[in-house]
Structure 1
Amino acid sequence: MRGYEISNYITLCREITRLLSVYKLPNSKLSGVLTLTVSMPPLALFSFIFYALSFTHVSRYASTATAAEDCILRNSFQPGFVAEGDFIIGGIFPLHYNQEMPDQNYTYTPPPVKCNGFDPRAFRWVQTMRLAVEEINESTELLPNHTLGYKIFDSCAYPLTGQRAALAVLNGLSEADSPMCSGASPMLAVIGESGSAQSIVVSRLLRPFRIPMISYFSSCACFTDRRKYPTFFRVIPNDDYQVKAIAQLLLHFNWTWVGLIRGDHEYGRFAVQGLLRELQGSSVCVAYQEMIPLLYNTQRALEIMQVMRRSLAKVVVVFSAEGEMTPFLRDYMKQNITGIQWVASEAWVTASVFTGREFYPYLGGTIGFGIRKGHIAQLGDYLQTVSPQRYPDNVLVGELWEALYGCSPFPSSANHFPVCSGQEDLLKQHSAYMNTSSPRVAYNVYKAVYAVAHSLHNLLLCQSGNGPFENDSCAQSNNILPWQLQYYLQEVKFNMAGEEVNFDLKGDSVPYYDIINWQRGTTGSIEFVNVGLFDGTKPGGEELVIQEERMMWAGHQSEVPVSVCSPSCPPGSRKAVRRGEPVCCFDCVPCDSGKISNQTNSVECIFCPEDWWSNQDRTSCIPKKVEFLAYDALGIPLTVISVVGASLTVGVFVVFFHHRSTAVVRVNNSELSFFILFALTLCFLCSLVFIGEPTVWSCMLRHTAFSITFSLCISCILGKTLVVLAAFTATRPGDNIMKWLGPKQQRAIIFSCTLVQVVICAAWLIDAPPYPSRNTKYERSKIILECSVGSSLAFWCVLGYIGLQACLCFVLAFLARKLPGNFNEAKYITFSMLIFSAVWLAFVPAYLSAPGNYAGAVESFAILASSFGLLFCLFAPKCYIILLKPEKNTKQHLMGKEKR
């Protein structure tokens, strides 16, 4: 507590001690009273001093030797209804919903709180209690030979007045009849209270006297604490189930951005805390939390409405009582705010005060969880027995007439209503009082009274020696103590209209709610339509059952309203939470390539499997496109060029073979020329192996075939270069160097040079041969089928050996380029090797950087380009002479001995 509160408590305790000493209260009892008062808030504690001492029950603890005149009734709190009986039960009901606080300067006894705003609905609850008692008294099966009595008070829906009513309940049936302060309280049980805040106060007052209390409308989860509220029972479900139901409702309709409004009491506070706890980790966020003051303030209410008007949250959950909601909603209608979807708690979702047709444009479509309805057969007839003639001195009956008819049957200077006879008929249109078609709270009152009756009945059936108390004893029927009745209340179990009524170890009843929807009736007024249920006894996820087709929403719409901070993210995108804002406020970010989201409001995008890729909308995975160097826009031109090159080579071969006896063919070593043409034909054709889907055999063939054929071709050119160099460098006639470069030697050179390449390829195929592979790294949206070289070392050895042969051939031809002769072939060999080397030097970087299937195309192009280079450089000049200049195809011309 804060410092000033501690000092106030000390002062108050001193004052209580001084005042109670007047009644000679023993120290042991005094300490118990002080313990009780310490648990009260300061305002209630001040009231306790002035009100508690007004009742004779406090002085009952004084010595029996105290004179009767010491117990003086200093104030009076008249009950609403009273009836005698063998056993007395109390009733506390919120017959008014508004209060006027008196001036409390603590210099004189404060006047009582003035209660305003008569509630016909609560008055119906009172009559239900009276009806239940009368039925029990008339029953021959329940409490035979015994009767129940009652004493009913008004709490004004306010904790302070509820406390005053509780203190009055503790006294006897009539305070004037109990002047002596001795013995236990004649009150065995209390039916009440409606609001959780009032029930907390009443339960704490009843706790020291161990008087059980059965609430018909207090659903706060705080009452499950049996250490604080050991005598508390209720026939309404615990709010833990209600907040669970509301959380499931919000999730069911995808309302992710909601407002919360609560009353300024324990019920509202615990309910909001429970709902926030239920919503943790879910997709629902709270846009704002507001509190309606306990003592209603219009200015504060307008501030709350302004928040509601500005917010994007179109769904508002309200945990409040009917009394404080009534003025709030009237001001709400004056502000002409529409479009709000109300989610009502059980405290006001079936309040008949809101059924007028003027409420529908603003409250129509409200949905909430109402306590289970029942059937009370005689209630309608019993309510009509109430009249000013039957209760001429009952102020509450006069206020009922004022609320229903706007006139007063008991004229006085205090009210300003016109006078009426009091003989008016109670009609069905007075639904605030006469609505008995589906009683809910009234049915709870009915069950509570019967729970007390059944408990008393079981207590009276106890047989000595088989009792539940000390030494197997039973309670004395003529001196039943409240705590003995509490034991039987905890164990009671009975059936009412097919419903089993009992209490668990925490005093709670079965968690069951009807889902109520406010719809427009035939007369334009609001009707409460049952559109589903919530059964807390079912497994998780199966509790909520909603008939959506029967529902009507705010603004008389048939479509479910939308209440979100951000629009839903469609499939193909994910939610990205905005920095510094709740998780319900987000931006929608498209999924990256290769990821998808196939649900609305996906938190993250998921990767597609390895061989799959996202479609254009990023909503599903589709098989990746498989690519390879096929017979398409790239493969067909390469195929055509390859075939053309092979055809040209064959054509040259035919020309050479046909003119094999001519000087040009013979001088240039026709055998080696045929070998070169054969090798070039194979070179052109081996590029075809690079086109088409790679297989194990095609991958092994493509690299080995091109390397061996090119090695054969270069070996032939090398042999020819050696022959040319040897022929033109012979210095003496006797030098017979050509005998070392005869046909056999030339074949040996070609074979040995080619054999080296064959050995390298064989080792490559044995150790780590090329194989088909699926390349997904270069372009993740595609699968590129290509041939992996297997051993990179072997691949570069193959190319390196061809390059070594070409370099050697180029050097030798370069040395012989200026030798005499009209047809010095060394010049053409030099130029052909220069082109060949340029092509393959350019191939290396192009091959390494070529993407996917383009690598095969680059290699195929290099093969074709180098093959064409060799073909044209070596054989084009010869074909030119053979076909177009036959006069130069003579030995004399070639040897430079032609006559001029």
Structure 2
Amino acid sequence: IEAWATAKSLWEKSADLLMGTLGFAIRRAAVIPGLKQHLTCLSPSHIHESAFLAEFWEETFKCRLNGSVNSHSHGVGSDLDRPLCEGTEDLSDVYSPYSDVTQLRVSYNVYKAVYLVAHALQDMSNCKVGKGPFSHGTCADPKSFKPWQLIHYMKRANFSALGEKINFDQNGDPIAYYDLLNWQKRPDGSLHLVKVGFYDASMLTGRSLVINDSAIQWPAFRSVCSDSCPPGSRIVRRKGEPICCYDCVPCAEGEVSNMTDSLECLRCSEDTWPNNERNLCIPKTIEYLSYHEFMGILLCVASLLGACLSISIIATFYTYKDTALVRANNMELSFLLLVFLVVCFLVGLLFIGKPSDWLCRIRYPAFGISFALCISCLLAKTAVVLMAFRATLPGSNVMKWFGAKQQRASVIICLIWLLTSPPHATSNTHYHSATIIIECVTGSEVGFWCVLGYIGILACMCFVMAFLARKLPDNFNEARFITFSMLIFFAVWVTFIPVYVSTAGKYTVAVHIFAVLASAFGLLFCIFAPKCYILMLKPEKNSKKHIMQR
């Protein structure tokens, strides 16, 4: 049954089909001393008496021996038509299975069998009467013995042949040993039998079969029904069709396959994602609003520009602090409002960069408290205008609108928020499959919307009071500018809410920063631009006389 694994005749008929075949064969001997020389030393003078050798000689050299005893005919036509053999033919000049000693397998078994009989006869000859293995210590006669007596010695033989140990098990069977052969194709198209492993029954259980995978040359056949599925896809069998008929289906989102004709796709880990070909998992893109990207740089410059403008206005107001215009509009509240606007502008910087827990816990309370203080200052300024026309000196009781007791609400809301469910950084992998969004989550949505709600209540109060003061004398009246600034404030934050809810990732942060900056710039320009215009470009209007004019 092992003979087919070395049958080169099969290769001649179906080489392409059998390439890469694996099969077990009888153990091969590297060389049997003197065998090749013996086989190739035949000459016509030695083979006339053997019909077998005569037939072999005539078929190998396609000639006819004089007085041949060969009675067989091969192929078409008569052997009598062949030329006579010249007697100079040499087997070493041609290839034939007869003289091929590269695959000595059956011949090796014959070689070992002859030596086995020889060793058995030697042991039989060495037997001493009275110590023999048979009844009453008798020995077998080497010149006249029974077959069973020879078999007895053969089962107990133990010798080496060409480096291989020859022995038998308790049942008298030889220890099984087979070569694992791989049929490989040489560049010239001939068969090359390569040993890629072996089976040895004498080894420990589970280690009897040894295979060298790297030495195996697998066949490279194409399916007669479907092409191979490339990496990044998997095989789906067609129902009711042969197993070689299938469809190639791309791996699902989040899955890869890195082998040809893969039966299944493997899912990438939580922090990786397939490449475009879906044959390799690559790290996901990390997304947050960075100082190094254009949008982050633009918002950062806008924040710093707003802070610098506010500081420059503070310097201008301090330079003209003794003038009528600055004093008439409650200088203390103006300075406080400008300081809080600087804080509002700088709060925008807290939203840029990679989020962390401590940064998230700072940015939201800082945003809420700074804006609450800005709106409170405007509320107090509006109250100044109303009180001024009720014979009350500006600044006498104004701070009760802006005092620490009245601003405890925003601080208390932020403290409760931070103590119960504070904002924190998180990695969002659900919004976009191929991206990890590092973002700040509010922790408590109630806390976030309470802060916005409190700022909204203050803005509404400020708007109402400014509206009530709209008909007071123009030169004392900031209500028109405050009303306009509140309209800008409302427009920005009413637009902010739906946009904020509908976006994700760094764009949500950018929208938040834009709303903060737009509100702060609206307050800065509406309240202070007209005053700076008079202070810097129209100094003749910066007098008590001009201010007191109706």
TM over 0.5: yes
Change (3 A) 1:489 1:648: same
Q: Does 1:760 align with 2:427?
A: no
Q: CA RMSD in A?
A: 5.1
Asked if the contact 1:387–1:397 (Cα under 8 Å) also holds between the matched residues in 2, the reply is no
Asked if the contact 2:234–2:263 (Cα under 8 Å) also holds between the matched residues in 1, the reply is yes
Residue identity matched to 1:448: A
Q: Does 1:510 align with 2:177?
A: yes
Match of residue 832, structure 1, among 485, 488, 491: 485
TM-superposition CA deviations, 1:730-749 (whole Å, max 9, x none): 6xxxxx7x59x963452454
Q: Does 1:706 align with 2:367?
A: yes
What is the alpha-carbon distance in structure 1 between the residues aligned to residue 262 and residue 376 of structure 2? 66
Match of residue 445, structure 1, among 102, 110, 129: 110
Change (3 A) 1:814 1:774: same
Change (3 A) 1:378 1:750: closer
Asked if the contact 1:716–1:750 (Cα under 8 Å) also holds between the matched residues in 2, the reply is no
Q: Does 1:418 align with 2:71?
A: no
Q: Secondary structure at the match of 1:743?
A: coil
Asked if the contact 2:427–2:439 (Cα under 8 Å) also holds between the matched residues in 1, the reply is yes
Match of residue 639, structure 1, among 279, 285, 300: 300
Match of residue 29, structure 2, among 345, 349, 372: 372
Residue identity matched to 2:178: P
Residue identity matched to 1:743: S
Alignment of 1:4-153 (within 5 A): none
Q: Does 1:649 align with 2:310?
A: yes
Q: Secondary structure at the match of 1:634?
A: helix
Match of residue 812, structure 1, among 451, 465, 470: 465
TM-superposition CA deviations, 1:166-197 (whole Å, max 9, x none): xxxxxxxxxxxxxxxxxxxxxxxxxxxxxxxx
What is the alpha-carbon distance in structure 2 between the residues aligned to residue 709 and residue 519 of structure 1? 83
Asked if the contact 2:289–2:296 (Cα under 8 Å) also holds between the matched residues in 1, the reply is no
Deviation, 1:867, is 0.9
What is the alpha-carbon distance in structure 2 between the residues aligned to residue 346 and residue 707 of structure 1? 80
Asked if the contact 1:398–1:410 (Cα under 8 Å) also holds between the matched residues in 2, the reply is yes
Asked if the contact 1:645–1:681 (Cα under 8 Å) also holds between the matched residues in 2, the reply is yes
What is the alpha-carbon distance in structure 1 between the residues aligned to residue 283 and residue 460 of structure 2? 51
2:353 alignment partner in structure 1: 692
Q: Does 1:406 align with 2:64?
A: yes
What is the alpha-carbon distance in structure 2 between the residues aligned to residue 527 and residue 697 of structure 1? 74
What is the alpha-carbon distance in structure 1 between the residues aligned to residue 451 and residue 436 of structure 2? 28
Asked if the contact 2:337–2:374 (Cα under 8 Å) also holds between the matched residues in 1, the reply is yes
What is the alpha-carbon distance in structure 2 between the residues aligned to residue 401 and residue 688 of structure 1? 100
Change (3 A) 1:849 1:321: same
TM-superposition CA deviations, 1:308-336 (whole Å, max 9, x none): xxxxxxxxxx65867xx48x95xx5xxxx
What is the alpha-carbon distance in structure 1 between the residues aligned to residue 415 and residue 159 of structure 2? 96
User: In terms of mean alpha carbon deviation, does 376-385 or 784-793 score higher?
Assistant: 376-385
Residue identity matched to 2:291: A
TM-superposition CA deviations, 1:394-431 (whole Å, max 9, x none): 65455445545435735799975439999957742576
Structure 2: gaps of 5 or more residues: none
Q: What is the aligned residue count?
A: 530
What is the alpha-carbon distance in structure 2 between the residues aligned to residue 472 and residue 807 of structure 1? 126
1:789 alignment partner in structure 2: 442
Residue identity matched to 2:338: L
Deviation, 1:868, is 1.4
Deviation, 1:891, is 7.0
Asked if the contact 1:408–1:418 (Cα under 8 Å) also holds between the matched residues in 2, the reply is no
User: In terms of mean alpha carbon deviation, does 581-590 or 751-760 score higher?
Assistant: 581-590
2:499 alignment partner in structure 1: 846
Identity, % of aligned positions:
39
Deviation, 1:866, is 0.5
Deviation, 1:835, is 1.8
What is the alpha-carbon distance in structure 2 between the residues aligned to residue 389 and residue 598 of structure 1? 65
1:121 alignment partner in structure 2: none
2:527 alignment partner in structure 1: 874
Q: Secondary structure at the match of 1:851?
A: coil
TM-superposition CA deviations, 1:511-548 (whole Å, max 9, x none): 24788988799xxxx99988657443485785559989
Q: Secondary structure at the match of 2:32?
A: coil
What is the alpha-carbon distance in structure 2 between the residues aligned to residue 658 and residue 875 of structure 1? 15
2:396 alignment partner in structure 1: 743
Match of residue 337, structure 2, among 676, 682, 688: 676
Change (3 A) 1:749 1:400: closer
Instruction: Compare relative contact order (CA 8 Å, sep 6+) and give the higher one, 1 or 2.
Output: 2
Change (3 A) 1:587 1:472: farther
Match of residue 199, structure 2, among 536, 544, 548: 536
- Give the TM-score, by structure 2 length: 0.73
TM-superposition CA deviations, 1:821-855 (whole Å, max 9, x none): 66543333333222212212222232333332333
What is the alpha-carbon distance in structure 2 between the residues aligned to residue 518 and residue 828 of structure 1? 93
Alignment of 1:171-250 (within 5 A): 220=1, 239=2
Deviation, 1:802, is 1.1
Change (3 A) 1:382 1:744: closer
What is the alpha-carbon distance in structure 2 between the residues aligned to residue 561 and residue 645 of structure 1? 73
TM-superposition CA deviations, 1:19-75 (whole Å, max 9, x none): xxxxxxxxxxxxxxxxxxxxxxxxxxxxxxxxxxxxxxxxxxxxxxxxxxxxxxxxx
Q: Secondary structure at the match of 1:371?
A: coil
Asked if the contact 1:388–1:422 (Cα under 8 Å) also holds between the matched residues in 2, the reply is no
What is the alpha-carbon distance in structure 2 between the residues aligned to residue 475 and residue 612 of structure 1? 80
Asked if the contact 2:19–2:185 (Cα under 8 Å) also holds between the matched residues in 1, the reply is no
Asked if the contact 1:577–1:584 (Cα under 8 Å) also holds between the matched residues in 2, the reply is no
Residue identity matched to 1:762: L
Match of residue 857, structure 1, among 463, 486, 510: 510
What is the alpha-carbon distance in structure 2 between the residues aligned to residue 478 and residue 447 of structure 1? 22
Asked if the contact 1:711–1:757 (Cα under 8 Å) also holds between the matched residues in 2, the reply is yes
What is the alpha-carbon distance in structure 2 between the residues aligned to residue 345 and residue 867 of structure 1? 81
Deviation, 1:489, is 4.1
Change (3 A) 1:665 1:406: same
What is the alpha-carbon distance in structure 1 between the residues aligned to residue 187 and residue 445 of structure 2? 83
Asked if the contact 1:786–1:852 (Cα under 8 Å) also holds between the matched residues in 2, the reply is yes
What is the alpha-carbon distance in structure 2 between the residues aligned to residue 403 and residue 645 of structure 1? 106
What is the alpha-carbon distance in structure 2 between the residues aligned to residue 781 and residue 385 of structure 1? 78
What is the alpha-carbon distance in structure 1 between the residues aligned to residue 15 and residue 98 of structure 2? 30
1:435 alignment partner in structure 2: 99
Change (3 A) 1:708 1:398: closer
What is the alpha-carbon distance in structure 2 between the residues aligned to residue 389 and residue 664 of structure 1? 139
Change (3 A) 1:666 1:377: closer
Deviation, 1:683, is 1.6
Structure 1: gaps of 5 or more residues: 1-219, 221-238, 240-266, 268-317, 348-367, 549-558, 731-735
What is the alpha-carbon distance in structure 2 between the residues aligned to residue 838 and residue 766 of structure 1? 32
Alignment of 1:295-314 (within 5 A): none
Deviation, 1:384, is 6.5
TM-superposition CA deviations, 1:406-460 (whole Å, max 9, x none): 3573579997543999995774257648627555433332333443454455567
Asked if the contact 1:517–1:531 (Cα under 8 Å) also holds between the matched residues in 2, the reply is yes
What is the alpha-carbon distance in structure 2 between the residues aligned to residue 389 and residue 891 of structure 1? 146
Q: Secondary structure at the match of 1:495?
A: strand
Change (3 A) 1:389 1:716: closer
Asked if the contact 1:629–1:854 (Cα under 8 Å) also holds between the matched residues in 2, the reply is no
Change (3 A) 1:450 1:584: farther
TM-superposition CA deviations, 1:79-109 (whole Å, max 9, x none): xxxxxxxxxxxxxxxxxxxxxxxxxxxxxxx
Q: Secondary structure at the match of 1:672?
A: helix
Change (3 A) 1:385 1:752: closer
